[in-house]
Structures are given as C-alpha cells and as structure tokens.
Amino acid sequence: MVAPLAPRRGDCRGEGPLGPDREPPGRSDPRHYTWGAWSSEVQVTLAAHASDSLSQAPDLTTRATPRSLPRRIAPRGHAEAPAVLVPPGRGRVLVFAFGLRDSGIPGGWAAAAKRPGVARLADLSSAAVRRVADLVARTKGPRDLALASIHWGGNWGYRIPEEHHRFARTLIDEAGVDLVHGHSSHHPKGLEVWRGQLILYGCGDFLNDYEGIGGYEAYRGDLILMYLPTLDPGSGRLLALNIHPMQLRRLRLNRATPADARWLGQVLTRESAVLGTQIQLGAGGQLRWAG
C-alpha cells in the first residue's frame, strides 16, 4: 500500500481477478473486492497484467463494485491519464500507471486510439522519460504530488536491473515524479530514498490469488508489506515512512507474527542497505525508514 499524506488512502497492488483465464476488468465478481475496512479508499490503476480480452470489454470502468470501494480504471483511449486522489485540505495525488515488456506485458496489450489496454512503455530510454515528463507537466499543479506506478521486472528475485535504477532516478530528477511505485515481484525488494524522494522498486503483492502455488517458498510470498509514507506536498520529499508487515492467508490480510515480521524486516534492511537506505525494526514488528 502506498498512502501519500494520509494512511486512509492507498494503492492496492496485486494480480487477482486479471489474467488471460479470468474475467476482464469491470466484469469481475464484486465479491472479489472486499479488501478491508481499514482502508476507506483504494485506488486501482490498470498498469499490470490485464488480459487480451480487454479488446472485447465494452466498459473498463466498473460493474456494481461496493460503495466502500470506489474503483477508478482509465477508460478506453485514456490509459495514460492519471488517476486522481484529492485528500481533504491538500493538493491532489496524481497516479500515472505504466507497464513494461520485461514484466511479461506483450505489445498487443498496449492501449491504442481505438483499442483499450494498458499504458505500455516499450523501453526505459530517454524518450520514455520525456513521455512521462510530458504527461506529468500537462497535469501537475502546485502542491500536487505525482506518483509513477510501474509494473516491471520478474516475479522472483531481489536483484534490481541497473536500467530500473537509472529510469526511476531520472523520473525524479527530470520528469517531475515525486514517488516511484514499482511492482511485479511477488515479494518486497529493497527500497531507496533518492535525493530525498522515495523509490519502491518492488513492493511485492498486497492481495493475489496465488496462494498454494509452490516452488518459491524461500521468498515467503505470503508476507506482505503495507507502506505508509508521508510526503511534503510542496516538494514531494519523504518526511517519514512506516511499514507494517502483514501475512496473506485465504485472501485476508493479517498482522504478521513477531518472528515473521523480524524475518521480513531483516530482508528489507539487507536489500535496502545496498541502496544506501536504512530501515529499522521497531516495537510490535513495525518497520520505519531511518535515513
């Protein structure tokens, strides 16, 4: 979960109802969306694995999702438009969602003028940076925060490709992005605070329907991190970051046991230290950014 400014607003990441053998977005059973009373609003962006049945979907908005879960998905033809959150008494939070080929998103899933789909970046070149910068510049105003939510990389492993490092840092340096929210790995990767701004290279899943799939137990994909950053609305600088270890069990999130919280904290501390970022484990298993 990414909750800029206020923990009650968040981004829910996962690959639950989407995929080639599942119903397209907007037609999934509303019972799939009972994602917890602690989050009063969940932001859903269509950046990750959407099925190629999107081309047959007559409506990408929603169908009868509960009032407790406002669901905003870019309509056809507007995949690059940001989702907009308006925290009370503050500027807006603009969420720009993109997907990359290296996460398994084929070219045929890219949105086109007359075809719905995802905002797919063909590569991480300087042209891609300019594309993101132009989108941000057209929309972002004073005291707005711009988040780039990027589905990239493989599903397992802690290594972060150098091109991901370079692209994320350049988005902050040159494209007006205040926070990079990376996802695709089914477990958390190291995080970085680059020039005072947060880069989450791989958040891990928050909810998915992959329970029981074997072969990667060493990564503990059932252990989840809920990220609660506080950002300065004027500069986008990270002021504080609290991280809550959770465990996914039967499509429900539970607090991680102290032992599991320690294990996950040690992993995040180890992987983030490589990026020059310090994470501390506090009372009750809560993690926090320490500089």
- The count of other CB atoms within 10 Å of the CB of residue 31 is 8
- Please compute the mean of the pLDDT values over residues 106-112 and round it to a whole number: 91
∠186-190-194 over CA atoms, to 5°?
A: 130
The first and second tokens of residue 210, run together, are: 């992959």
Instruction: Give the pLDDT score at 87.
Output: 86
Pairing of the two strands 287-289 and 83-85: unpaired
Question: Mind listing the pLDDT tens digit for each residue in 199-216?
Answer: 999 999 998 888 888 899
With CA atoms as reference, report the closest residue to 261 among 282, 277, 245, 238.
245
Question: Mind listing the pLDDT tens digit for each residue in 55-83?
Answer: 333 333 333 334 444 444 444 347 899 99
From residue 83, alpha-carbon distances to 101, 143, 224, 288 in Å are: 22, 16, 24, 27
The residues, ordered by sequence, that sit 6+ positions from 141 with a Cβ below 8 Å of its Cβ are 91, 92
The residues, ordered by sequence, that sit 6+ positions from 258 with a Cβ below 8 Å of its Cβ are 285
Give all strands (DSSP E) within the chain, no chain letters: 9-11, 41-43, 83-85, 93-100, 120-121, 145-151, 179-183, 191-194, 197-200, 223-231, 238-249, 252-255, 279-281, 287-289
- Please compute the mean of the pLDDT values over residues 145-171 and round it to a whole number: 97
Q: Which CATH architecture has domain 9-221?
A: 4-Layer Sandwich (3.60)
- Please compute the mean of the pLDDT values over residues 232-244 and round it to a whole number: 95
- Please tell me the distance from the alpha carbon of residue 266 to that of residue 255, in angstroms, as a whole number: 17
pTM higher than 0.75: yes
pLDDT band at 90 (very low <50, low <70, confident <90, very high): confident
Instruction: Give the pLDDT score at 15.
Output: 52
The first and second tokens of residue 33, run together, are: 């969306």
Sign of CA pseudo-dihedral 25, 30, 34, 39: positive
Instruction: Give the pLDDT score at 41.
Output: 36
The residues, ordered by sequence, that sit 6+ positions from 11 with a Cβ below 8 Å of its Cβ are 1, 2, 3, 42, 43, 45, 95, 147, 149, 181
Indicate the average pLDDT of the chain. 80
Q: Is 230 exposed, middle or buried (0-12, 13-18, 19+ CB in 10 A)?
A: middle
